[in-house]
Every structure is written in structure tokens, then in C-alpha cells.
Amino acid sequence: MPPFLQRVNNAAKGKVLALQEYFTLAWNALRFVFARPFYGGDLVQQMDVIGVQSLGIVLLTGFFTGMVLALQSSVQLKTFGATIYIGRLVAGSMIRELGPVLAGLMVAGRVGSGIAAQLGSMKVTEQIDALNTLGTDPIKKLVTPRVLAALIMMPVLTVINDFVGILGGNVIANIYLGLPTSLYWRTVWEQIATGGFTFRYIPNDFIQGLSKPFVFGGIISITGCYFGLGTTGGTEGVGLATTRTVVTASILILVVDYFMTQILLTLFAQ
């Protein structure tokens, strides 16, 4: 085989192998959810780190996104005299799209990088080897609690993000457009109801808006753990793992969001 093809061949093999390792890690992490021993303390601690401690940035992101969304669309809606629909627009965008994606990207930056840095430094200081030596499976002890915590907390953070976003829209609608709060929230509800319901009571918009953060939580935590545990080359390697995690998780979130939207729109087509 010519050297050029050989290089391409090796590179392709490397990528496929990396992908296989990524999914093996994900599979093992989820498999251990049901295997003893359970690290309940670690799970609660990670839920605090991933969920509670991310609340600040999620609140800020959500509130300002909702406000800017209302502000920008008010300019457009004014030209059609349709400012009354601002609640529908903000709610629709936040719940289905912006809430999950923005919360995902913010958590990827904050939590994904944190996971990669922590596991990375544990790897380079031989703490991962020490766990193995002390008879503990590092995946069960470190990866499973993080993945599980992210799967649980991401939807919670997204709901909060959605709510403060819509609240931000409410503030702008009130101040700039003089829209009464009750009217604003009525249009928000109309938007949710327009999407239809599953099992009569569960709004389809909620299903769309909450299935995405669940997947994003998985992407962020597994990507962080994958690059963290794969760290080599001392402190420089830790920096590299952190950067790679944020870049990869952010891209994956945006790409997966597109395909999930396609699928969900087909599933919930009116």
C-alpha cells in the first residue's frame, strides 16, 4: 500500500477505534447503574456539582436569552401589528430549541470541562490506577455517577432555563410593548397547547424539549469522562482534554440537536 494510503488507513482505523471506545465507555457507565456496589454519595455529590452549582449560569443565560428574543422579535412583530403573539414566539423557541441547546452548551462549558479536568488530573497523578489497585472499577466509581447525575440534572436545568427565559420575555413584553402579564402567559399557554398533547395531558412541546437535554446530559458527561480518562502527557494533557471535551461536546450537541429535531418533528407532526 502506498504510504499516503497507509496514513489514511491508519487515521481512519484510529477514528473508528476512538468511536468504539467512546460507546463502550457509555455502555459500561450505563450498565453499572444497575450493578452493586452503588455509589449513592458520589451520585448526590455529582448532582450538586452538575445541577445545583450550574444554576447560576443557567438562570443568567435563560433570562437574557428570553429578553433578547422578545426584544428582537418585537421589532419584526410590530411591523405586522402582531406583538400580541410575542409570548407564543418566545415560548415556542425557548421550550423546543433554545432552552435545551443553550443550557446544554453552557453546561458543556462548565461541567464537561470540569469532569475532563478532574478525571484528567486523577489520571496523570495515577489516582485512576490507584482506584484499580484498591479493587474499585474507576468507571463504576467515577463515570457512572457523573453520567447518571447529568442525565437527571440536565432536564431539570432546562426546565428552569425555559421558565426564566419565558419570564425574561415577559419583562420585555411588559416594559417595551406594554403587554399585560396575563395576556403574555395566555399566549405562552396557547403556544404549548398548539403543539398537541400525548396521553391527553402531556404537551408534545414538553416531550420535545425534555428529551433533548436528557441526550445532551449523556453527551456532555460521557465526552468529559472519555477525554478525561484518556489523558496522557501530564498537565498539558489535562488542558488538551478539557479543550477537546468542550469543543466535541458543543459540536455534538448542535449536530444531535438537528437530527433530534428532525425526528421529533416527524413524530409529533400535526
Residue closer to another protein by CB (options 58, 116) is 116
Residue 126 as a binder of another protein (CB under 8 A): the answer is: yes
For 202, phi and psi rounded to 5 degrees? -95, 115
Residue 21 as a binder of another protein (CB under 8 A): the answer is: no
Residue 72 as a binder of another protein (CB under 8 A): the answer is: no
CB 154 within 8 A of CB 214: yes
CB 100 within 8 A of CB 213: yes
CA dihedral 177, 183, 187, 192 (to 10 degrees): 130
Residue 53 as a binder of another protein (CB under 8 A): the answer is: no
With b for 16 or more beta-carbon neighbours within 10 A and e for fewer, the 218-235 pattern comes to bbbbbbbbbbbbbbeeee
Residue closer to another protein by CB (options 139, 219) is 139
Residue closer to another protein by CB (options 135, 178) is 135
Residue 41 as a binder of another protein (CB under 8 A): the answer is: no
In the complex, the smallest distance separating the C-beta of residue 219 from another protein, rounded to whole angstroms, is 25
Q: Which of 135, 199, 259, 266 binds another protein (CB under 8 A)?
A: 135
Residue closer to another protein by CB (options 52, 265) is 52
Residue type, 269: A
Residue 130 as a binder of another protein (CB under 8 A): the answer is: yes
> Any residues with CB less than 8 A from the CB of 55 and at least 6 apart, and which?
157, 160
The CA-based angle 10-218-106, given to 5 degrees, is 100
Residue 136 as a binder of another protein (CB under 8 A): the answer is: yes
Residue 97 as a binder of another protein (CB under 8 A): the answer is: no
For 83, phi and psi rounded to 5 degrees? -60, -20
Residue closer to another protein by CB (options 37, 233) is 37
In the complex, the smallest distance separating the C-beta of residue 38 from another protein, rounded to whole angstroms, is 12
In the complex, the smallest distance separating the C-beta of residue 134 from another protein, rounded to whole angstroms, is 5
